[in-house]
Structure 1
Amino acid sequence: MDNTTTTPEYLFESSWEICNKVGGIYTVLSTKAHTLQQSFKDKLIFIGPDVWDNTNAPDFIEDDVLFADWKTYTKTTENLKVKVGRWNVPGTPPVILVDFKPFFKERDAFFYLMWESFRVDSIHAYGDYDESCIFAYAVGKVIESFYHFYKLEDKKVAALFNEWMLGMGALYIQKQLPAIATLFTTHATSIGRSIAGNNKALYAYMDGYNGDQMAGELNMEAKHSLEKQTALHVDCFTTVSDITARECKQLLDKAPDIVTPNGFEPNFVPTGKEYDKKRTAARRDLLNVAEKLLGCPISPDAFLVSTSGRYEYRNKGIDVFIEAMNRVRTSGRLQREVVAFIMVPAWVRDARADLKEVIDKNIRTTSPMQMPFVTHWLNLMEQDKVLNYISHSGFTNLAADKLKIIFVPCYLDGRDGIFNKPYYDLLIGMDATVYPSYYEPWGYTPLESIAFGIPTITTDLAGFGLWAKKHVTGNNISEGVAVVNRDDFNYFEVADAITSSILTLAGKDKKEAEEIRKRSFCLAAKAEWSKFIVYYEEAFRIALEHANKRNN
């Protein structure tokens, strides 16, 4: 093996979110694939969970020719059930989906091995822990089988594992195939997310927190133990932003070897006439649903603003978004009609049949529907935090209101029953987006927003917000991004800052809005994967160097 090269010849990357869209990590990997593919070609192999049984995984194209000899071998000689194909994203990289369920019977022995070799303490595990770890084990088995079958012993091989869920995969490879360089990326520490989600002040007291102690207090011992031991043992430990690096150092007792920020791939964004066409269609659909739900006409020139992301009510700042929209509504300074959309997947029961019918038959409604704040019925509706806060704040969504607010609580995958359009095909119709996160290791949503030319408001507690401040002042939404100062205690100041930015934007004429769109595009271009991939190249170099030392 040539010990001087610093680039792997083969790269395996695994995550729970490969061909399985759950959150932001899907966006990281699916957009990064194209840039990596240019270097690795088909020696970049993604491994994801086969959770689809007999249905087809979305974004997965089966390929009978790819690695066909290995696939036949796994069927006949190994206990591996895999599907081989390509991921239907730019670059179409090879992907292996593994059915991990057969490995559950080996759980106890495997967990014991992890305790004995790496002191990973699974004794307090509950919830999704077992499923994630057995999937990670199956990923390890896939890499091991592939490695031996294709005789990669004399090649430089690296394997990158995402999030605590894949930690045991990294540790298994480290133990079984020490020649492979292992990398582990945490996109958010499990314990940091938990501290923030439990309404504790994460930042004010950061230097006083002990990760192990907090894990005990918040019933997070197993995940935390796994994440910490993986970070300590792999050849290269990375995270996505400076703000999370600080968290890793304090809570995992290990500073990352390198920060690998998340880029975006421009070929997800339409250009020229296609852009205008999609923007017009998005606005038409958004306004049509709003008019049908609210039973009144809305100006075609209405200002459309949205927030989106995971349903983490406090962490993602959904509460502050509603608060700010209420301040805009009652400010007395609003000259233009505004519709605010909260596009956050919740526990949906069904698309509203009444709304669906008037949309399908294009019936003009003349009075607001029952509950004119929501597009889909939810389970346990009376307990939903978003709906409760909307109602508590005094929104009415009556025709006379200058600002209306609508909760779209479904995954926008093109099959939701009301919009039937994927998220990006609605995002492109917005005039502004707001992501006032309290806990946000990177923050894809504001980056996606400016990539689509939509000015955005984020905070300096988001990795993306800190990155943006290196390129713009962050004090003026006219730059394309406003970065609001947020800490543990200044909730109302944040709401005021958002209010003022929205009122500023809503007052811009078409020419000014176009200038701001151009600035948004310009800033987004600085965060493309072609610019950020160098951080990964450095991570591979570090991992190979450490693996080399370890093996000598």
Structure 2
Amino acid sequence: MPLARSLSITSLSGLEEWDEEFDLEDAVLFEIAWEVANKVGGIYTVIQTKARLTAEEWGENYFLVGPYVESNVRTQVELIEPTNPALKRAIDKMNSSGCKVYFGRWLIEGSPYVVLIDVAFTAWNLDKWKKELWDNFSIGVPWFDREANDAVLFGFLTAWLLGEYAAQCEEPPHILAHFHEWLAGLGLALCRQRQLPVATIFTTHATLLGRYLCAGSVDFYNNLADFNVDKEAGDRQIYHRYCLERTAARCAHVFTTVSQITAVEAEHLLKRKPDIITPNGLNVKKFSAMHEFQNLHAQSKNRIQEFIRGHFYGHLDFNLDKCLFLFIAGRYEFSNKGADIFLEALARLNYLLRVNHSDVTVVAFFIMPARTNNFNVETLKGQAVRKQLWDTAQTVKERFGKKLYESLLVGQLPDVSKMLDKDDFTMMKRAIFATQRQCQPPICTHNMLEDSNDPILTCIRRIGLFNSSADRVKVIFHPEFLSSTSPLLPMDYEEFVRGCHLGVFPSYYEPWGYTPGRLL
């Protein structure tokens, strides 16, 4: 019998000296995901929004485990010494054995503890661990799949961490480990194979094979029960990934998903019915005061309008007060997320607005991370020009106000013809000349590495939405997740959503995790 199948049980009775019930203060919870302090997709939001309540409930016994990414750590994590003695000994032992493990607080609401593991530093173990993976689970991972190789490294390192922590505990530990998605799932399977005293939970927020099948124009939901999963995964060259995900689902003591439709999908594709459905939660109190929400909407909309002024400088021939902001956001899955349908709809909307001579302008944002090498120079120049125009206007305004004040101070009405002198007009003319632009406003805010093959840009070229003056629908492709530290659009995702008028998510493959509820 395959090891994964023999370990596929839900009872905790197999754990040595572990009662079915125990005091929560005696337990330690490790929550393990590739997106801890490392934004890749929606799981980052899931963990970030639940962290405060989980940290309040578990206190000093709650630890998030993720990969160490230096660029993220600099802005999101405060590195400190471990507070838990057993965990400190475990981390020290791993570091002395050739690993790099960091401990700190994630700078989000709740400030949870995080354990970050540098997977690249231990890449020299990859071949050895791949052999162990094959010997114990009969799963082979090809050398060219970097993401799967990272999953192997991360899985072995997290299992090492949990095993070392259990060994360093002075009394028999009560360890709960909650693993999210296939990238972290190998650690769960290794915990079971090594018979570590760890109760395991595996949550899938979507299935790998489901994503790939939907992206391949398959009638997915009507044929869910009929797929030959091994063949379909092999045909798409993701069989090794699928095996990692399925092994984690089958080995977990408790298997969960985020929605009923994903539960049905997991039952057919991963061959295990979820034990429980755990819908993602929302902090609804943040959005309960309507007047406050309206004020926040106005503030966020003003910030988006400032970006628009810079992006379209020289072609700002539309009224921003009659401008609607639409957006689509998420993983860059062109068909699965419905970006293809959205673009086709925008092209038709542009035609209708033009033939009806409408004075309404629609600006559609595409917030989807893609491969880039830097910001677009023209986009950066637009924001610099906008700022320079603002500074010029403020300088002229101050000089005008000073002359007006001095005139009123001596009891005279000001001579309007003398309020602006030659220098003022020179400054304003220079500012106007700076807004002259020979090219169209850019569609993409960054330099794409493969723009000729990019699905969104290719579709835009076909439908002809080039941000010309005649177009009533403008398109802005922002191939990077939003951040408050960005020099272009310094806004977090939630702030951006508040400032827009409509979010459009015509997904074909939708696990119904967060997207619908967050946009209400």
- Give, in angstroms, the shift of residue 374 of structure 1: 2.5
- Give, in angstroms, the shift of residue 193 of structure 1: 1.3
- Give, in angstroms, the shift of residue 431 of structure 1: 0.7
Helix, strand or coil: the match of 1:303?
A: strand
Distance 1:231 1:307 in 2: 31
The match for 2:322 among 301, 305, 308 is: 301
Amino acid at match of 1:360: A
1:189 matched to 2:207? The reply is yes
Q: Are the counterparts in 1 of residues 90 and 164 from structure 2 also a CA contact under 8 Å?
A: no
In structure 2, the partner of 1:343 is 367
1:100 matched to 2:119? The reply is yes
In structure 2, the partner of 1:212 is 230
- 1:153-232 correspondence runs (5 A): 153=172, 155-232=173-250
The match for 1:328 among 339, 343, 349 is: 349
- Give, in angstroms, the shift of residue 291 of structure 1: 3.1
Amino acid at match of 2:75: P
Amino acid at match of 2:383: I
Helix, strand or coil: the match of 2:222?
A: coil
Amino acid at match of 1:384: D
CA 1:115/1:415 → structure 2, altered by over 3 Å: closer, same or farther? same
Helix, strand or coil: the match of 2:48?
A: helix
CA 1:59/1:268 → structure 2, altered by over 3 Å: closer, same or farther? farther
Report the RMSD for the aligned CA atoms in angstroms. 2.8
Number of corresponding residues:
448
Q: Are the counterparts in 2 of residues 125 and 222 from structure 1 also a CA contact under 8 Å?
A: no
Q: Are the counterparts in 2 of residues 293 and 369 from structure 1 also a CA contact under 8 Å?
A: no
The match for 2:257 among 239, 262, 265 is: 239
Distance 1:431 1:340 in 2: 10
In structure 1, the partner of 2:146 is 127
1:381 matched to 2:451? The reply is yes
Q: Are the counterparts in 2 of residues 293 and 372 from structure 1 also a CA contact under 8 Å?
A: no
CA 1:256/1:160 → structure 2, altered by over 3 Å: closer, same or farther? same
Amino acid at match of 2:158: V
Distance 2:369 2:235 in 1: 29
Amino acid at match of 1:428: R
In structure 1, the partner of 2:469 is 399
Helix, strand or coil: the match of 1:340?
A: strand
Helix, strand or coil: the match of 2:519?
A: helix
Distance 1:62 1:328 in 2: 50
Helix, strand or coil: the match of 2:457?
A: helix
1:437 matched to 2:514? The reply is no
Q: Are the counterparts in 2 of residues 295 and 369 from structure 1 also a CA contact under 8 Å?
A: no
Amino acid at match of 1:284: Q
Helix, strand or coil: the match of 2:511?
A: coil
Distance 1:76 1:230 in 2: 27
Amino acid at match of 1:345: P
Instruction: Provide the TM-score with structure 2 as the length reference.
Output: 0.78
In structure 1, the partner of 2:273 is 255
CA 1:126/1:373 → structure 2, altered by over 3 Å: closer, same or farther? closer
Distance 1:293 1:234 in 2: 59
Helix, strand or coil: the match of 2:232?
A: helix
Amino acid at match of 2:330: G
Q: Are the counterparts in 2 of residues 19 and 57 from structure 1 also a CA contact under 8 Å?
A: no
- Give, in angstroms, the shift of residue 69 of structure 1: 6.9
- Give, in angstroms, the shift of residue 347 of structure 1: 2.1
Helix, strand or coil: the match of 1:12?
A: strand
CA 1:407/1:298 → structure 2, altered by over 3 Å: closer, same or farther? farther
CA 1:253/1:113 → structure 2, altered by over 3 Å: closer, same or farther? same
Q: Where does structure 1 lack aligned partners over 5 or more consecutive residues? A: 451-552
Distance 2:205 2:86 in 1: 35
CA deviations 1:224-257 (Å, max 9, x no partner) are 1111122112101111222221221111111211
Distance 2:253 2:284 in 1: 31
Q: Where does structure 2 lack aligned partners over 5 or more consecutive residues? A: 1-17, 390-431
- 1:341-490 correspondence runs (5 A): 341-362=365-386, 363=389, 365=435, 369-370=439-440, 372-450=442-520
- Give, in angstroms, the shift of residue 107 of structure 1: 3.5
In structure 2, the partner of 1:502 is none
In structure 2, the partner of 1:516 is none
In structure 1, the partner of 2:159 is 140
Distance 1:293 1:85 in 2: 47
Residue identity over aligned pairs, in percent, reads 28
Helix, strand or coil: the match of 1:417?
A: coil
Helix, strand or coil: the match of 1:399?
A: coil
Instruction: Provide the TM-score with structure 1 as the length reference.
Output: 0.74
1:264 matched to 2:282? The reply is yes
Amino acid at match of 1:321: F
Distance 2:188 2:117 in 1: 16
- Give, in angstroms, the shift of residue 379 of structure 1: 2.1
- Give, in angstroms, the shift of residue 328 of structure 1: 1.9
CA deviations 1:249-283 (Å, max 9, x no partner) are 11111121112122233577696286256324333
CA 1:106/1:165 → structure 2, altered by over 3 Å: closer, same or farther? same
Distance 2:176 2:41 in 1: 25
Distance 2:275 2:143 in 1: 29
Q: Could you tell which deviates more after superposition, 397-406 or 310-319?
A: 397-406
CA 1:152/1:136 → structure 2, altered by over 3 Å: closer, same or farther? farther
